[in-house]
Amino acid sequence: MTNKNKGLVVLVGAGPGDMGLLTLSGKQWLQKADVVLYDHLVNPDMIRFTQKSAEMIYVGKKEGVASMEQEQINNLLINKAREEKIVVRLKGGDPFIFGRGGEEIQAIQAVGIPFIIVPGVTSVTGVAAYAGIPLTHRHLSSTLSIITGSNEKNQGDIHIDWEKIASRSGTLVFLMGARKLPLIVEKLIKFGKSPDTPIAVVQWGTTARQKTWTGTLGTIVEISAEDKILPPALTIIGEVVNLKSKIEWYEHLPLFGKTVVVTRKGDQADSMIDRLRELGAEPFFFPVIETIAPDDWSPLDNALNNLSQYDGLIFTSVNGVRFFAERLKTIEQDIRELKGARVYTIGPKTAEAVRDLGIRVDVVPENFIAESLIESIGNAEGKRFLIPRATVARETLPEQLRKMGALVDVAPAYKTVLPSQSVDALEKRLKEGSVDVITFTSSSTVTNFLTLTGEQLLPAIKNTKIACIGPITAKTARDAGLNVEIMPEQYTVSSLMDAIEIFYQ
C-alpha cells in the first residue's frame, strides 16, 4: 500500500496550531511526501519537515475568504497521485472533525487510489486544553456537543436544531463561529439557554497569539463587538468555563505572546525551537545559512591522508566536525592516525559532536571564542595544527597561532551559502510589528539575514530586539546598525534562550 510507484494519498491532521501537536506519524509522512497540499490554518513551520524537493501547494481554506474549490482540491490529489507520488493532504486540526476529510477520501476511493488516514489533535480538545478549560468535568458536565458555526452556502442561518442544542446541559463547542457569534447567542437564549451561562471565545488557540475572552451569553456579544473578535476562534459554552481561572497555564508561560525569529540552519534549529515552545513563544523559523561541500576537497583530503603529522586538531563548529567525519569516511582514512594529537573544540556542542565520533576532547576553553582557545593552547612553538572549518571564517585563530610559532593548516571542510527562500511571511510580520526578537548565533547569520531581507526592511529590523549568542556576533550586528539588547554570559544556544527569558521577566 505504501509502494511509492503506485501513488498514495495520506490525509494528515496537522493539529490546531502548535507544531508540537503534530503526531509522530504525521511528521513521518511529511518527511516522505513528494507533494503537500496544505491549508491556511496549518503552522507553516511544519514545512521544514518536508524534503527540499517536495512540491508545496497552498489551497487556502481561510474562513470568510474565497479559496480553491473543494472539487479542485480533490482533482489535484487524484492527479498528483496518478503521477506515482506520495501526496500528503495536510489539514488543520483533525481532518474528520468539520474538515471535509471524508469528502476528500470519498473522491480518492472512488477512483481506486490507495490512501492512509492520520488523525490529528482537533482544535476542540487542543484549544480548550491550552485555554485551561476542561470540556468535561465529573461535577459540571458529562456531555460534549461539537457544532459548526460556519455556513459554507453563505446563507444567513446555520442549519442547526437550536431547540435541541439549547436544551443540552453539558458543554457546547462551536467551531468557526466568530462571525456568527451574535446569531449563536441569540438562538441559544431564544430557545431557553440562560443568559448567565458562562462562555469563552479563544482566538488563535495553541499559538503564541492565543487570546481568550470570557463572559456570559448575555455579555459576550458586546465584548466581541468592542474587541472585534475575528477568526480563527473557538467558542466554549457551559459551566466548565468557570474553571479557566484555576487551570489556565499556557498564557502564563514566561515568553507567552512573543514571536522569536530563529535564523539557524534547519538541522540545528530544533533545540532552539523546542525550547522557545516550552517557554510559550512562537518560533518563526527563518534559516539564513545552508552548508554545502567546499569547491575543492584537496586541502582537506591532503590533511586527512597525513593525520599523523599533526600535534593538534581544532574544531570550531559542529558543522566542521560533521563534514570532517563524512570526508574521512569517504576517502576511507583512519582516525587512529591522529595518535597522540590533542583535540581542541570551541563550545560544548562542538565537543559533544566530537565525542559522538568516539574521539576524546582534550580542551574546551572557558569562553567559547577563538581568543579563549588560544589562551588554553599555551606553548605552540613548532607544533602543527589542523583546523577543518568553513571556507570563509574569522582568521583570528590561525593568525595568532602562527604568531606563536605554530604551523597551521586551514582546510575548508564546508562552505556556507544563502538558502533560497521567500521573505514574504517575515516581511509581513516585521512590518506589522508582530516580531519581538530576532536571534543570531554567528556573524554569518547576521550578514546573511540582512542580505536576504534587504534594505527596505532595515528600519523594521532596527526597531526589533536583537539577541546574539556572543560578543563577536553582537559586534557584527551593532556594526550593521542593529540594536543588540540580549546576550548571554555563556556563549551557547541554551544560555541564549535563558537570556531571552530573563530579559522578559
Q: Of residues 45, 61, 258, 436, which has the active-site annotation?
A: 61
- 3 state SS of 15: strand
For the chain, the first-to-last Cα distance in angstroms comes to 52
| Residue 161 bears catalytic tag | no
Helices within 33-82 (DSSP H only): 70-82
Report whether 95 contacts 70 (CB < 8 A). no
Please return the burial class of 104, using the count of CB atoms within 10 Å of its CB with bins 0-12, 13-18 and 19+: buried
CA distances from 451 to 299, 359, 422, 426, 438 (A): 30, 38, 13, 14, 15
Q: Among residues 498, 493, 501, which one has the least CA distance to residue 347?
A: 493
Cα 364 to the center of its chain, rounded Å:
31
- 3 state SS of 156: coil
DSSP string, 377-441: H---TT-EEEEEEESS---HHHHHHHHTT-EEEEEEEEEEE------HHHHHHHHTT---EEEES
What dihedral angle (degrees, nearest 10) is formed by the CA atoms of 298, 302, 305, 306? Answer: -170
Angle between helices 270-278 and 493-504 (to 10 degrees): 30
d(CA 145, CA 177): 14
What dihedral angle (degrees, nearest 10) is formed by the CA atoms of 389, 394, 399, 401? Answer: -60
Q: Of residues 39, 45, 94, 436, which has the active-site annotation?
A: 39
DSSP state, 332? T
| Residue 80 bears catalytic tag | no
| Residue 39 bears catalytic tag | yes
- 3 state SS of 39: coil
Q: Of residues 19, 176, 272, 497, which has the active-site annotation?
A: 176
d(CA 153, CA 382): 82
d(CA 91, CA 127): 16
Q: Among residues 443, 347, 427, 341, which one has the least CA distance to residue 390?
A: 443
Which residues carry out catalysis? 39, 61, 176
